[in-house]
Structure 1
Amino acid sequence: MTQPTPVLSLTNIHKAFDGVIAIQDFSLDLFPGEIVALVGDNGAGKSTLIKMISGVYSPTSGTVALDGEKVSFADASSARNRGIEVVYQDLALADQQPVFMNMFLGRELTKPPFGLLDKERMRRESQALVDELDVRIPSASSTIRDLSGGQRQGIAIARATHWASKLILLDEPTAALGVAETARVEQLVASLRERNLAILIISHSLDQVFTLSDRICVLRRGEQIGIRKTAETDKNEIVSMITGVHK
């Protein structure tokens, strides 16, 4: 059976800031319908890596490829235009706006001939998506500030799902949530497999990593320590890889 073409290929990625090495010699392939967890202590380089994939930073050296084609993103909007979406911890939602306006933030739909906002269509499409993903909110007309943390996170993930055609990057998606809301968001993330998107998730929770991921990639001080299939490793091995302390 032939291996599918990776959605994303990172090859020998190196990133330095004023001579300080943040990432060295990092390589990873991400495949459609796969969830890969990126783990490591604070300062390991996880967020730097996400920012390189999403066009915020450019690698100092190494190559990034989408569907086998080498790419170089000038900025974050270039990466979004190629089907890459990011959900950060701070969500980047407009609190005073309704859900449907957040879903189309920066990509608002308009009506001819005068270019007025097509609020009804945005509301309808947003409602269909949150229903499909089972994001439990009163309606797509609800104002973001009136929603719980878990509901907001669900909206941020739904928005990424709506616009991503290839890859979603999740940076600590449940860091500020309680147990029940974390479980709902984890269900939502797991459901994205069926959309054949590739998912890269940063998480400090090894329980979450082992629940969601197909593979685990470990970073320590900017160095790639290794990649393990989740089903073939355990928490002790991953902790040892993260800390460098072997039990």
Structure 2
Amino acid sequence: MSALIEVTDLGKTYGSVVALQGVTTSVRAGEVTCVLGDNGAGKSTFIKILSGAHEHTEGSFRVDGVEQHMASPRDALALGIATVYQDLAVVPLMPVWRNFFLGSEPRKGPFRMLDVDLMKRTTKDELAAMGIDLRDVDQPIGTLSGGERQCVAIARAVHFGARVLILDEPTAALGVKQSGVVLRYIAAARERGLGVVFITHNPHHAYPVGDRFLVLRRGRSIADRVKDDITRDELVELMAGGAELEALGHELERAPGVDPVV
């Protein structure tokens, strides 16, 4: 299966500052590509390039095999690339259906009135198709849990034609149960044939749903592996910087008056 998105030796510099360098990976329909790294690893820069917010300065960025230099997120949306950020752009006091169609409301009749019935029905149907059973789409979206709000945003992106869904740390501020809710809906998006880019710093969240794992450190790729080629423990080791921790342990063992790292 050909890649929806393919990046080769992708890089981004801001003047003399190198934010990202030499990143190669792909995003395919019906697969989840997990991008992992600690703070400062380059995840945010990578998202900004994929979502059209920033233009890359090195390497190749292809969508459906065609080289792209996007000037804005609108260009990305036109190509079917939608981004759901951690700080969701929702209006807490508005009902779920208004947030679902926010900025894209269908209208009817000579006076161009909002088609409220269509919006409510569509919202309920689209959420149900993703396995989200809300009792009432009239309830304010602010009354939903963090996980449920993330899932509404995912369903919205699918409804408006996303082929590639970029999720920016969707489980970062959630507890174990709500993280599980979001991971189930990531799997549901994959089953609907979307290519999903799951940005996270948590390998325990990434491994169950991931098909490919890109690990970034200090703006560079240190691994790009398919699931068959890496175990959960190996992924955790890459994220934890096992070699660096071991070297630090040896260094501290030699330091007088300092207990060794165990």
- TM-score bracket, normalised by the shorter chain, equals over 0.9
SS at match of 1:21: strand
CA distance in 2, matches of 1:29, 1:175: 24
Partner of 2:64: 67
Aligned to 2:89: 92
Is the 8 Å Cα contact of residues 39 and 219 (structure 1) preserved in structure 2? yes
**Alpha-carbon distance in structure 2 between the residues aligned to 1:36 and 1:92:** 24
Q: Distance in 1 between matches of 2:16 and 2:224?
A: 27
Q: Check the 8 A contact 2:26/2:33 in 1, yes or no.
A: no
* Larger-Rg structure: 2
Per mean C-alpha deviation after superposition, the further-off stretch among 32-41 and 106-115 is 106-115
Q: Which secondary structure state, in structure 1, belongs to the residue aligned with residue 53 of structure 2?
A: coil
CA distance 1:236–1:154, change in 2 (3 Å): same
Q: Does structure 1 retain, via aligned residues, the 8 Å contact 2:29–2:193?
A: yes
Q: Of residues 76, 80, 83 in structure 1, which corresponds to 2:77?
A: 80
Q: What's the secondary structure of 2:228's corresponding residue?
A: helix
Q: Deviations over 1:120-179 (max 9, x none)?
A: 111111110111112242222221112122221111111122224320001111112222
- Tell me if the contact between 1:220 and 1:243 (Cα under 8 Å) persists in the aligned partners: no
Other-structure match for 1:8: 5
Aligned partner of 1:167 in structure 2 is: 164
Please say if 1:133 is aligned against 2:133.
no
RMSD: 1.6
Q: Unpaired runs of 5+ in structure 2?
A: 247-262
Alignment of 1:207 with 2:207, yes or no, is no
User: In the alignment, what sits opposite 2:253?
Assistant: none
SS in 2 for 1:128: helix
Q: Distance in 1 between matches of 2:201 and 2:240?
A: 13
Instruction: Check the 8 A contact 1:137/1:147 in 2, yes or no.
Output: no
Amino acid at match of 2:54: Y
1:43 to 36, 40, 61: 40
Report the Cα distance in structure 2 between the residues aligned to 1:14 and 1:112, rounded to whole angstroms: 50
Normalising by the residue count of structure 2, what TM-score does the alignment of the two structures yield?
0.88
CA distance in 1, matches of 2:139, 2:61: 39
Whether the 8 Å contact between 2:148 and 2:181 is mirrored in structure 1 is no
Cα contact 1:84–1:167 (8 A) shared by 2 = yes
Partners in 2 of 1:153 and 1:240 — Cα distance? 29
Query: Please, which of 170, 177, 180 is the counterpart of residue 183 of structure 1?
Result: 180
1:155, 1:120 → 2: CA distance? 18
| Contact 1:137 1:151 (C-alpha < 8 Å) held by counterparts | no
> Structure 1: any 5+ residue segments left out of the alignment?
none
1:222 aligned partner? 219
SS at match of 1:181: helix
TM-score (norm 1): 0.93
